[in-house]
Structure 1
Amino acid sequence: MNKAEIDSLVRAFLVETAEPAKANPRVQQVVVRLVQDLFKAIEDLDLSPSEVWRGIEYFAEAGASHELGLLAAGLGLERFLDIRADEAEVRAGLTGGTPRTIEGPLYVAGAPESTGFARLDDGSEEANGEVLFMQGTVYGADGRPLPGARVEVWHANLLGGYSFFDPSQAPFNLRRTIVADSEGRYRLRSMVPMGYGCPPEGTTQRLLDQLGRHGRRPAHIHFFVSAPGHRKLTTQINIDGDEYLWNDFAFASREGLVPALTRVTDPRALREQGVDQPFASIDFDFRLLPEADGAPPAEVVRQRMAA
């Protein structure tokens, strides 16, 4: 069957059978195109019925195990959406902000909120890891600090688990919302996170194995940063020196998102931070872009967990 015949067949299946007054034009447009492309792939690759049904069963299993968000990252879909958003902002004349990168599937709304400073960790891993202090300023489009900007932050524990998804952790461990102070500054205390991999027996890793790819992520910290009149920023920083820093299975590593990590041993600095052991320190400023006509929405509408 040639491509024109496939196009006609799909239209006969999905358009000519529809009642125009009841059809959602956008949904119809998207479904027709995707089904046309799927049928053409089946024809071009000569997929057998067994292979097609195995694919359907795979997606059903991935959905049941809540790994479709992970799969979207591993196949580059989430990064591709970011690339398109970057290009759209450039067309709208928006440049110079902190680079965006993927959100991932593990955000939880409703984290405890504080002004200026927050401690993220509950202290349970302090004996096994390295204390981290991270600080900086949120700047607006005019280069001035943004008092009251919201910095939502979340990351994994030393075993690669996220609270709410990992039942061994307390609720909202390693998750906070920091409201920038009167000078636009934020500061947090946590533990230096570790890199981690996809669940080894999960659907995402099984497919990656078939593709000859690893499923590892470098150590990283996620952020949503927002302020009135500015575009919401979705980003993450990576911990410099990680083995997978530039080999992230989710394609989220970007220039400008790998700040220097300094290890502090000076006794006076330790006292000032209220710790009795050396710690790691990261300085990182966020720069938000202004809202602008013609730019696509910066807020991505998707299902997210809320406590």
Structure 2
Amino acid sequence: MSQTLINPLELEKLLAISCGITTDSGDDRFKAILTQLLGDVCRTIDKFDVTDEEFWQAVNYLNVLGERKEVALLAAGLGLEHFLDMRADAKAEAEGTAGGTPRTIEGPLYVANAPLAEGYTRMDDGTDEGEPMWLYGRVTDPQGNPVAGAVVDIWHANTLGNYSFFDRSQSEYNLRRRIKTGADGCYAVRSILPSGYGCPPDGPTQALLNQLGRHGNRPAHIHFFVSAPGCKHLTTQINLNGDLWLWDDFAFATREELIADPVSVTDKALARERDMPSPHTEVKFDFQLVPSKESREQEKIKRERVLG
């Protein structure tokens, strides 16, 4: 059923009072945003004749969503986090500041303060018998010059699709590291090939996706923060080519420019040079940072994160 029963003027009066429009105190921008948001909710209830029971089911759902700490996961699954990237890309294009490695979503599983190394480090603790991976590349400016002192912050899942800290069976900071580039702008890590994952099957995010007829799967991917003085902070992730879910990521994070090709390395001399087993898988990805116009652009956005 689609109908409208409420007088628009009566709704406007209710919103003006509930959102503080009739008072002089408070934050005007916040009031305007909340008025728009609540008005859209009220008009949706009216238009679709949402029942009281359906309304309270929705309220209960939000309670469960918060209790399970899946709000950020649902934001990704509904495309809201990707929408922020779409707007940021459009703004950069309009301002003439587009360029560099494309951004994409952060996701909800970052943990701050991972161990910091110079140039190279090992990310895995050796307990996961996954495919050994050599991940490496360079950080450059738009002219191709190396960016020394850039911090490449990397995190990814294990072969079961689980992340340390959230998966208590893993050691602290397993598959989480920060690497500072040297004069050549290079970084390299030894790790294992990650697996994709799905939303918790018993969780509220998957329950909502089920109602939409959607899956909750992500392809294998590796997350990055890349930062350097004078450069815009980059939040991105790369996908591994050949994954079943590569172009059907429930979180909308896949971008053509962010797909890396895993390569099997059988050269024993190269493996010895890297202190890697032979064979192993090589993943190469270079990052290009662009200059920042304001100091705030050099920092990652403020949001609630786990502090390790």
Both proteins in one fold, TM over 0.5: yes
Residue in 1 that maps onto 2:81: 78
Distance 1:161 1:182, change over 3 A: same
Letter in 2 for 1:204: T
Q: Does 1:260 align with 2:250?
A: no
List aligned pairs for 1:1-307, cutoff 5 A: 1-15=6-20, 18=23, 20-21=24-25, 23-126=26-129, 129-292=130-293, 299-307=300-308
TM-score between the two structures when normalised by the length of structure 1:
0.94
Q: Deviations over 1:245-293 (max 9, x none)?
A: 0000000000110012110112222222223331010111100121136
Structure 2 unaligned residues grouped into runs of 5+: 1-5
Aligned residues between the structures: 303
Question: How far is the alpha carbon of 1:12 from its aligned partner?
Answer: 3.2
Q: Secondary structure at the match of 2:125?
A: coil
- 2:7, 2:71 → 1: CA distance? 32
Letter in 1 for 2:59: I
Q: Secondary structure at the match of 1:186?
A: strand
Question: How far is the alpha carbon of 1:94 from its aligned partner?
Answer: 1.5
Letter in 2 for 1:55: A
Q: Deviations over 1:19-78 (max 9, x none)?
A: x13x12122121111111111111111101111111111011100110001000000000
Distance 1:296 1:91, change over 3 A: farther
Q: Deviations over 1:163-196 (max 9, x none)?
A: 1100000010000000011111101110000111
- 1:92, 1:35 → 2: CA distance? 32
Q: Percent identity?
A: 48
Question: How far is the alpha carbon of 1:16 from its aligned partner?
Answer: 5.1
- 2:230, 2:277 → 1: CA distance? 42
Question: How far is the alpha carbon of 1:13 from its aligned partner?
Answer: 2.9
TM-score between the two structures when normalised by the length of structure 2:
0.94
- 2:104, 2:14 → 1: CA distance? 39
Q: Secondary structure at the match of 2:278?
A: coil
Q: Secondary structure at the match of 1:221?
A: strand
| Contact 2:230–2:298 under 8 Å retained in 1 | no
Distance 1:97 1:131, change over 3 A: same
| Contact 1:141–1:230 under 8 Å retained in 2 | no
- 1:139, 1:289 → 2: CA distance? 9
| Contact 1:151–1:224 under 8 Å retained in 2 | yes
Structure 1 unaligned residues grouped into runs of 5+: none
Distance 1:219 1:11, change over 3 A: same
Question: How far is the alpha carbon of 1:113 from its aligned partner?
Answer: 0.3
